[in-house]
Amino acid sequence: MYDYHSHSDFSDDCTTPLRDMVRTAVTAGIRELAVTDHYDPDYPDRNFPFELDFSAYHRGLEEVEREFSDRIRIVKGIEIGIQHGDTNQKCRETAAAYPYDFIIGSFHCTGGQDLYTEYFKTRSDEAGVAEFYEYVYKGIRDFQNFDVLGHINVIDRYVKQIPDYKPYMETIEAILKELISLGKGIEINTSSFRYGMNGRTTPSSDILTLYKDLGGEIITYGSDAHRESHLGYMYKEAMEILQHHGFRYLATFRERKCTPILIR
Ligand SMILES: [Zn+2]
Ligand SMILES: [Zn+2]
């Protein structure tokens, strides 16, 4: 298994120490684990600032990399929260400040509001979803120092009812084309199964089909584990979904370079 999205207690929403996560990943049979703790500059919820103690984090990554080097490959990563404007300058500085192996660029906010608590208080599902994808499109044209776009349809977690996606597919196509032209990818993120999105996956089948049709090839698997039991979550099912959509390779990264691994 190649789990390219996981958290530890360096993230504000996770309490499991990094070493415990890595130890469990070894036991679970994970060959490569990307540790991708949150850095979400200007995140609006003060209870979860999603700041990162960078020097401690980097030291932690290097320690587990050394300690477990004969049992698992630690992919030194980070999940950076993209927004617009000045926030993205902080993202740029962070991405360039350390030799990460792998960077996930994710959207957890739109227009300064966090998707989790605030965003849908003032919007219909339809308007909120439309605005979200427009925001993502502009965001990835502004900040580009990442390797895969995290949980592309994360917005589906927060709506009351997932709307018909037809009106949004044009913007999603523009997002996917931009990613492909930049040599970046997407991820299949199995947290969707834990959120119970009515059987809808992340990405949804529509988005996976479109990505494939557009020539997209780079796709990582991520459990988005925030606790040990989530490591490698639904890996087999995720591989089946990818194969079903015609993907033959899973992307892995080292020093920001992609190596495809045959799915079997
Ligand atoms: Zn995320
Ligand atoms: Zn995450």
Q: How many Å lie between the centroid of ligand 2 and the Cα of residue 51?
A: 14
Number of domains forming the structure of the chain: 1
Q: What is the pLDDT of residue 50?
A: 83
CATH of the domain at 102: 3.20.20.140
- Indicate which ligand has the atom closest to the C-alpha of 8: 2
**What is the tens place of the pLDDT at every residue in 55-78?**
999 999 999 999 999 999 999 999
pTM of the predicted protein model: 0.98
Looking only at the bridges linking them, the beta strands covering 102-106 and 257-262 are unpaired
Q: What is the pLDDT of residue 195?
A: 84
Q: How many Å lie between the centroid of ligand 2 and the Cα of residue 52?
A: 14
Contact, 200 vs 167, CB < 8 A? no
Which structural domain range is residue 255 located in? 2-262
Q: What is the pLDDT of residue 164?
A: 96
Q: How many Å lie between the centroid of ligand 2 and the Cα of residue 85?
A: 22
Place of tokens 């959120």: 195
Report the first-to-last Cα separation within the chain, whole angstroms: 10
Say whether 207 sits in a helix, a strand or coil: helix
**What is the tens place of the pLDDT at every residue in 158-204?**
999 999 999 999 999 999 999 999 999 999 999 998 887 878 999 99
Place of tokens 């509001």: 113
- The beta-carbon contacts of 111-117 under 8 Å, at least 24 apart in sequence, are 111/84, 111/135, 112/42, 112/44, 112/83, 113/44, 114/43, 114/44, 114/45, 115/154, 115/155, 115/157, 115/158, 116/45, 116/158, 117/45
